[in-house]
Structure 1
């Protein structure tokens, strides 16, 4: 039986592990196993045999004196093991440093061959595989933390040394200055000591305090040092200008213009002819569609971006990708599944003739009879602050009435500056009252437009949105544009015959979330225009991350994540 049938995500875990060097897996899992056994010993303190066996085969002193210390040690070991599996440079430095120092802490003790092997074998493997550990940590977080953590570490060492010297008469073993220094280092780094043995409650309390302070300091350092690289600022103007040049030369996706939005980061492969736009949530880099650039460069751009993500300790997720490159993603170890449809309308020869457009013609004729007119604002005209005030009021009312939130990533937000830059399609009555408006963004080198915002008054006449969109399409035809996109219909058109788990989940969400987000009505609304549907896909690498990936795709669309989206 397939283990993934019993434990969801096991198959993805094994696939993920197979991509790691065997030596790295061995050392990492050793640290993880030691952490799990230590945690078990903390939870079940009566099981002394666990500690005895663990101490034989690890470079660490382990005592059963305190569950708190054991828990701290277990978290440190688990963090180091996980960091090594992720290829973290900081985890490698920490592990090799501890392994290099540990023999010095056993000076004066009888030789133990199992412990010697436990030090030499992982140390040799880590040195041999050092090139694998290229994943960086967040430098800004580390710089901010280094000064206070260094001061704290110095305080802990001084406090420990003075404290151990204070109880010097209450311990057995190697006493004196050198013995106290070695004891402190063992308590701080290894969380236990064989150099000295406390004989009184006061000495035991002092040893415990030094271990606890050292453990908490080390844990704080590790948690900060193992953070993935965080992007805090938008790309510089030069990068945005270069991306715009690439989009103008090679762009053809309706979403291309959103790559230049302030919520995106930009990655340029070595050829500098391709750009990948992405947004970051925690350590998930969610791309906006496929790489943009010459078709022959896309495979190399994908490989370089995936390697770049590895070096930043990120997990790449490719969102709204096209069918054309699916095999390339699969060859790189990604799983892809359909997440929606994009509606494209070829404008050459498009018209409302035929029975299938009868209802739309009726709605448009009614709007015309009631004196509603179409305006491309500002177009080549002048700025009208009265119209702009009405557009802002309609947008605010639309958000408030529907308890909606402004979206991001592959959708725009209301902006008067953007409307002045790109213009908007406006439906206005004879008395000057604006009923609705629609915004469009350019793509395909300016030869096409993609639908973005659709907003109307809550008491607007029925069919007003069809009026604005149809008149917009006619306007584009008159300007010689070749295509219009009505944007995406999320989760739509999943194959009813497909039986794979991804399709079942998409169909389930499409049905169950329809009452909240109106997916069915959106798909039906766009379907009235008889578009050519283009399927869009999501590609990911590991099933274990599916829950986080789902949240990441929501988080990059709505600030505040799933909770805010649910409330909206």
Structure 2
């Protein structure tokens, strides 16, 4: 009996969800039907009534667009969408969206009432909160809509005066009522406006455009800001050192991320939010047996707040579980990984690496490790800052964020720092490594060189650092992921084909090929595939925008400007 009750409750819940989904689809179909009807008038109307008829059709179109947008938001169970939709049902029932007297009118009004009753009964399921930070924008857009309505009222008052007989006064209240009625399709234009309703047309769509924009702004999802203290950060660090198998997981400790901690299991994952999309960097960190529960819990957390999910930089370790839980998957690049016990630069394969290291060695380059936790050196800290400033001066864009860490000398935790000095004892480059595989591997995260760095200096730091790790018994080194490398031209996955197009044609924006070649010259012992995972299974444009925006300090605009500069440079040549 105890087992039967939960099963019956789950069955009832699934049935209720199906009914809700069917109702929302019905609303979407209803709105599309209303929109189509505006292009097929059912009766001929005299030329004198054309202005009034057109205004009625425009209202019907505006309402149908609003209803369709709301149906998309209702699918995510947003509370504000439910409130607005119910308000529109009441308004539609009172005034009607189709001309009075038409045979279809009664049927559509019954459908409208049916939708209102269904949504009212299921009101408790629409509980996803809207963004609290959007109130100012919503109020501003609403103000613009009101201004448009008031201008429309003023124009109506002017034409009503022209139409009135000599000496007859026109009250502002009458013009206000008629102007409002026209905006909402419940009135007719003054006869004097029959030949001049172009201004009314513009103001009508301006007002409705602002109303729609305000609705969309009010429907933006909201998440409570996550404040993490020292204890939470230390707990995340412990989990990372115990369970992280993904090289980029350690970046969870950077300040640009929120941390989600599991409730049913002990685990953690880092995320950021752009619009209605939650972007996660790397796999969730927990014990292998707890992974399905942690992923399902986080998935429910995102769905309850009406957010889509986009995972960046996944390994293939948990890939089957993502697919099992309904995520879409696509290969997104390859990680240059080194099994240190097998790594060597002898032979033909390592010839270029040896040449670069020999060049740096002849230039007097020496490599050292800065053990920050043992002894802090302010002079050395300033040298790290100087190299960063020189490196930024030579870059076309700012530093990437979210998928790349910071130097972090103030609180290094488990990071390791290797730097190179030239023959004069001046720092010329450095690399910051972060741990993975329970400190059985280290990934080169931050790599920077100064303006006077001799060629081969970065290869020398990498090689010397790998030798130190190898002597300590550490198993793996990594240079991180080469984005979009190794994609298949024969793939039938539309997302992979899109990413391959970007790799082939938009190198001016990022330099995907150059980055792959830069990692390839180190002769990694293996290339580990990297993946994106996303929910819903077919990503929306806003999800793709979020995945790009969260990594670039200048957003999409930064990539576009870089691309245009590259094209201009080619044109000048």
The alpha-carbon deviation at position 503 of structure 1 amounts to 4.2
Unmatched 5+ residue regions in structure 1?
1-16, 41-46, 53-61, 172-179
Counterpart CA distance in 2 for 1:25 and 1:515 is: 43
Question: SS state of the match for residue 306, structure 1?
Answer: helix
The alpha-carbon deviation at position 424 of structure 1 amounts to 1.8
The alpha-carbon deviation at position 380 of structure 1 amounts to 5.6
Alignment-derived partner of residue 272 in structure 2: 279
Alignment-derived partner of residue 176 in structure 1: none
The alpha-carbon deviation at position 336 of structure 1 amounts to 1.3
Alignment-derived partner of residue 451 in structure 1: 444
Compared CA separation, residues 247 and 113, structure 1 to 2 (3 A): same
Counterpart CA distance in 1 for 2:71 and 2:491 is: 39
Alignment-derived partner of residue 316 in structure 2: 323
2:557 equivalent to 1:563: yes
2:401 corresponds to which of 396, 401, 408 = 408
1:236 corresponds to which of 228, 245, 255 = 228
Alignment-derived partner of residue 261 in structure 2: 268
Counterpart CA distance in 2 for 1:189 and 1:248 is: 66
Question: SS state of the match for residue 83, structure 1?
Answer: helix
Counterpart CA distance in 1 for 2:265 and 2:182 is: 46
Counterpart CA distance in 1 for 2:126 and 2:461 is: 56
Alignment-derived partner of residue 5 in structure 1: none
Counterpart CA distance in 2 for 1:463 and 1:521 is: 16
Question: SS state of the match for residue 296, structure 1?
Answer: helix
Alignment-derived partner of residue 299 in structure 2: 306
Alignment-derived partner of residue 25 in structure 2: 25
Compared CA separation, residues 510 and 540, structure 1 to 2 (3 A): same
Deviations 1:61-85 (A, max 9, x none): x953377756654543343233233
Compared CA separation, residues 326 and 18, structure 1 to 2 (3 A): farther
Compared CA separation, residues 22 and 307, structure 1 to 2 (3 A): same
Compared CA separation, residues 78 and 495, structure 1 to 2 (3 A): closer
2:80 corresponds to which of 68, 72, 90 = 90
The alpha-carbon deviation at position 186 of structure 1 amounts to 12
Compared CA separation, residues 122 and 277, structure 1 to 2 (3 A): same
Counterpart CA distance in 2 for 1:409 and 1:440 is: 16
The alpha-carbon deviation at position 536 of structure 1 amounts to 0.8
Alignment-derived partner of residue 553 in structure 1: 547
Compared CA separation, residues 365 and 412, structure 1 to 2 (3 A): same
Counterpart CA distance in 1 for 2:44 and 2:537 is: 34
Whether the 8 Å CA contact 2:332–2:531 is kept in 1: the answer is: yes
Whether the 8 Å CA contact 1:510–1:520 is kept in 2: the answer is: yes
1:465 corresponds to which of 458, 462, 484 = 458
Question: SS state of the match for residue 295, structure 2?
Answer: helix
Within 5 Å, which residues of 2 pair with 1:378-527?
Answer: 378-379=371-372, 382-414=375-407, 416-417=409-410, 422-495=415-488, 498=491, 500-514=493-507, 517-527=510-520
Whether the 8 Å CA contact 1:347–1:483 is kept in 2: the answer is: yes
Whether the 8 Å CA contact 1:31–1:80 is kept in 2: the answer is: no
Alignment-derived partner of residue 80 in structure 1: 70
Counterpart CA distance in 2 for 1:241 and 1:474 is: 29
Within 5 Å, which residues of 2 pair with 1:330-349?
Answer: 330-348=323-341
The alpha-carbon deviation at position 436 of structure 1 amounts to 1.5
Alignment-derived partner of residue 365 in structure 2: 372
Question: SS state of the match for residue 360, structure 2?
Answer: helix
Compared CA separation, residues 501 and 69, structure 1 to 2 (3 A): closer
Counterpart CA distance in 2 for 1:264 and 1:556 is: 10
The alpha-carbon deviation at position 462 of structure 1 amounts to 2.2
Compared CA separation, residues 545 and 252, structure 1 to 2 (3 A): closer
Deviations 1:468-507 (A, max 9, x none): 1111112223334332221111122224664654444444
Counterpart CA distance in 2 for 1:539 and 1:365 is: 42
Deviations 1:84-131 (A, max 9, x none): 33432222222223434665669xx99974244123221233245445
Alignment-derived partner of residue 191 in structure 1: 184
Question: SS state of the match for residue 424, structure 1?
Answer: strand
Counterpart CA distance in 2 for 1:127 and 1:84 is: 13
Compared CA separation, residues 431 and 221, structure 1 to 2 (3 A): closer
TM-score (norm 2): 0.74
CA root-mean-square deviation: 4.5
The alpha-carbon deviation at position 396 of structure 1 amounts to 2.3
Question: SS state of the match for residue 487, structure 2?
Answer: coil
2:39 equivalent to 1:34: no
Aligned residues: 513
Question: SS state of the match for residue 402, structure 1?
Answer: coil
Unmatched 5+ residue regions in structure 2?
1-16, 46-51, 165-172, 563-573
The alpha-carbon deviation at position 466 of structure 1 amounts to 1.1
Counterpart CA distance in 2 for 1:341 and 1:403 is: 25
Whether the 8 Å CA contact 1:406–1:558 is kept in 2: the answer is: yes
The alpha-carbon deviation at position 318 of structure 1 amounts to 1.9
Counterpart CA distance in 2 for 1:35 and 1:139 is: 32
Question: SS state of the match for residue 356, structure 1?
Answer: coil
The alpha-carbon deviation at position 243 of structure 1 amounts to 2.8
1:126 corresponds to which of 94, 119, 123 = 119
1:293 corresponds to which of 283, 286, 294 = 286
Compared CA separation, residues 310 and 36, structure 1 to 2 (3 A): farther
Counterpart CA distance in 1 for 2:504 and 2:83 is: 50
Whether the 8 Å CA contact 1:51–1:63 is kept in 2: the answer is: no
Whether the 8 Å CA contact 1:424–1:438 is kept in 2: the answer is: yes
Of 87-96 and 238-247, more deviation after overlay is shown by 238-247
Compared CA separation, residues 339 and 219, structure 1 to 2 (3 A): closer
Counterpart CA distance in 2 for 1:341 and 1:392 is: 31
Compared CA separation, residues 456 and 218, structure 1 to 2 (3 A): closer
2:527 equivalent to 1:537: no
Counterpart CA distance in 2 for 1:318 and 1:414 is: 24
